[in-house]
Amino acid sequence: MVAALGALAVSLLLAGCGGLSQIGAGAHNPPPQVFTVTARVTTLVIKGGAGNIDVTGSGRGTVSVSQQLSYTKSAPAAAHVVSGTTLTLSYTCPSEIVCGVSYNVQVPQGVAVQVSSAAGAITLTGLAGPVSAQTSAGLITATGLSSPTASLKSNAGGIDATFTAAPASVHASTNVGPISISVPGSASYAIDTHTYVGSSTVTVPKNPASQHAISASSDLGSITISPS
């Protein structure tokens, strides 16, 4: 019953959020803008608004960006700025019903990634640097991470993270939505879970003194921490 209520709450909230991109049959969706950043980048920051964000680690030495604009009348003003070794992607919107940018970015695996979004799914794949992802409404999916640290937060939406190497620190939190974290079972972990409405299931080795720490909290949703 609890799981059903949680799933229903998430689906309703995300349906409302997704509906933002559907308002107005005359929305413009031009071909994606694609470019390469050849400057040395050690940190990627994406300041999203409305739109999905997908960041993938690869063997490439440069950063490849594909950004998809969606708008009713006037296109959002998208910007990319390199300051030192930090690349920041962001945009501003005029006042209109539909306005957003979805990002698909490929980075060298060791780049640190900091992503935020107001409404949209965040997907992180094959990253080895520290990661931080936050969305007000949307699912956060992270797969194939070997990142030493990860901070994942969604106000309305689930979190699903899988690690290929035992992380030093993982923090995951949702107001509404389930949390699933998979880590190598060869290590033990200092575990801290909390949920107001929902259950917590931990099947990895636990050790309060471990140098590998996982904390997870959900106001409404189940928490699962299992071997990857």
- The confidence band for 27, taking pLDDT boundaries of 50, 70 and 90, is confident
149-186 tens-digit pLDDT: 999 999 999 999 999 999 999 999 999 999 999 999 99
| Interstrand relation of 63-71 and 99-108 (parallel, antiparallel or unpaired) | antiparallel
Say if CB 123 and CB 115 are below 8 A apart. Answer: no
Residue 98 tokens, joined: 């539909």
Is residue 202 packed enough to be buried (19+ CB in 10 Å), middle (13-18) or exposed (0-12)? middle
Report pLDDT digits (tens) over 49-92.
999 999 999 999 999 999 999 999 999 999 999 999 999 999 99
Residue with tokens 């909390």: 194
**Domain boundaries along the sequence of the chain:** 2-227
User: CATH 2.160.20: does it fit domain 2-227?
Assistant: yes
Give me 117's structure tokens: 């979004």
- Which residue type does 44 have? L
